Amino acid sequence: MNKEQKHDLVIALAEQMKEYGNFYITDTSNLTVAKINSIRRKCFESDIVIQVAKNSLIQKAMEASEGDYTAIYDVLKGSSSILFSKSATAPAKLIKQLRKAGSEKPIIKAAYIDSAIFIGDNQLDTLINLKSKEQLIGEVIGLLQSPAKNVVSALQSGGTILAGVVKTLQERG
């Protein structure tokens, strides 16, 4: 790979980091070609983009894109693959599925999810259970609507009582 190709790869990786907003750096070393091809096929089926790159190029792509990735630099050792996905949990779910099928790898080195960094393979279950921004916003809206609905419901059901209370207060005043 010449300098220009490396530069193009760094630019492409940096653009993918910005576009997807979520990526996992994994270890897929010592896997057979058949296993790698199987993982690639499953990634494609799950709308996950998998890219193998040298650690130095991954770090340069991180430095070229927006975001603070310094905590990830320490895990950039050995063989690394990057899994890009619009869904924060899709790569973690795929890795879990591969493990249930008997594969030890890929192993999660690090994950970057909407500016949060998760280091280590022990974070797999945490990553699977993450909620998307849309889910969290929906929950917050539901929580905000609940008290308002209770007030409206109480006013509607107790409208005559409330009117009676207001009338009594006016008569006393």
The tens place of each residue's pLDDT in the chain, 173 residues long, gives 788 989 999 999 999 999 998 999 999 888 888 888 999 999 999 999 999 999 999 999 999 987 789 999 999 998 899 999 998 899 999 999 999 988 888 999 999 998 889 999 998 888 988 877 777 788 788 777 777 666 666 666 655 566 666 677 777 76
> What pLDDT score does 33 carry?
87
Structure letter (DSSP) for residue 171: H
Name the CATH superfamily, with its identifier, for domain 3-130.
Ribosomal protein L10, N-terminal RNA-binding domain (3.30.70.1730)
DSSP 150: H
Query: 10 Å Cβ neighbour count for 25?
Result: 23
Chain length of the chain: 173
Question: 112 - beta bridge partners?
Answer: 23, 117
Residues 6+ away with beta carbon under 8 Å from 159? none
Q: What is the pLDDT of residue 170?
A: 76
pTM comes to 0.75
How far is residue 110's CA from residue 76's CA, in Å, rounded to a whole number? 9
Q: Could you tell me the residue ranges of all domains in the chain? A: 3-130, 134-172
- pLDDT for res 142: 78
| Phi and psi, residue 78, nearest 5° | 70, -155
Order the strands of the 116-119 sheet from edge to edge.
Answer: 49-52, 81-84, 22-27, 107-113, 116-119
